[in-house]
Amino acid sequence: MEQENMVPVTILTGFLGSGKTTLLNRILKEDHGFRIAVIENEFGEAGVDNDILLDSGEEQIVEMNNGCICCTVRGDLIRILGELRGKRDAGKLKFDRVIIETTGMADPGPVAQTFFMDEDIGNYYLLDSILTLVDAKHAPRQLDEFREAQEQIGFADRILMSKTDLVGKEEQEALRQRIARMNPRAPIKKVNFGHTPIKEILDIRGFNLNAVLELDPDFLKESEHEHDEHVSSFVFKSDQPFDGVKLEEFLSGLVQVYGADMLRYKGVLHLKGNAHRVVFQGVHMLMGGDLGKAWGPGEKRTSTMVFIGRKLPEELFVKGLEQCLVEAS
């Protein structure tokens, strides 16, 4: 299926109390003009209003008055996505995008991996982005005490900072800087869910690295980083081309050993003998690549790779990547 015809999916994550319930209730009740299927993990904290989600032993698919759809999930996400697809194709349900909420203590990685693992799902649904909500009032303590809170930031394509009215400007800026050190590539946006247009948190195209680079050519630009957090990031850059076979073997070995700690990794690669950029990214142990646009005449060909994870051995990664480089022809 062509990308423009695929159903975009947003994964919504954030620590307990960060505002996911407020946002989901708004999506399901307001007349915002979108037809959104919200899939809520039924085992999360108190979810959307009880008059919306019915409590029973099976999944519930409830069509709301504003045209949106709310689903509770007990078990296999692939199955519920398949069921929604079947009902949509049969004309029984109408929706043009999906939002999947994860629990407050969850690693969003397995949800994102769904779109790598199942061909039918990956060909019908387009993973748009991972959004992470951050409670400006309580995040500093949560980041100190819970590694899950750090990991949710590590996965994010965009970070939405809520409850900023409860803290001063200095506290906001300190938190913003801390988040930026952990995930320097995720834009941080203050949100007030009563006044934030829904369209500003959808269609981010965070998982379409080609699109991101068209919108922001400096997206993968190196920035200062520190390693004082459980989750941190680093960048590898080189003007030399990669040997594609060597690189694939090295990356495959990395994910076998460190995949559980590799939250997100992405990059644009210059492969020897390839006239196009190669765009790659992965979540934990699953990774994939696609051809990007062709290198222009006389354009400087550079590889840039970003790794975000739990205490990854940067020196080992860098040395291994350097051994995959070859001389330019």
Comparing 3-207 with 220-322, is the CATH topology the same? no
In total, the chain counts a number of residues equal to 329
Q: What is the mean pLDDT of the chain?
A: 81
Q: Please give the CATH superfamily to which domain 220-322 belongs.
A: CobW-like, C-terminal domain (3.30.1220.10)
**Which one-letter DSSP state was computed for residue 157?**
S
Domain ranges of the chain: 3-207, 220-322
3-class secondary structure, 35: coil
Domain 3-207 has CATH 3.40.50.300: yes
| pTM for this model (two decimals) | 0.74
CB-neighbour burial class of residue 79 (10 A; exposed 0-12, middle 13-18, buried 19+) = exposed
CA pseudo-torsion sign 17, 194, 182, 262: positive
CB 153 within 8 A of CB 183: yes
Question: Phi-psi category of 17—alpha, beta or left, where left has phi over 0 and alpha has psi -120 to 50?
Answer: left
- In tens, the pLDDT along 8-34 reads 999 999 987 788 877 877 777 778 788
- pLDDT per residue, tens digit, the chain (329 aa), is 667 789 999 999 998 778 887 787 777 777 878 888 888 764 433 444 444 443 333 445 555 555 556 565 555 788 889 989 999 999 988 889 998 888 777 778 778 888 877 889 889 999 999 999 999 999 999 999 888 888 899 889 899 999 999 999 999 999 999 999 888 888 898 888 767 777 778 888 877 766 666 666 666 665 554 445 678 888 899 999 999 999 999 999 999 999 988 988 888 899 999 999 998 888 888 888 888 889 999 899 999 998 988 889 999 999 999 999 998 76
Provide the 10 A C-beta neighbour count for residue 287: 19
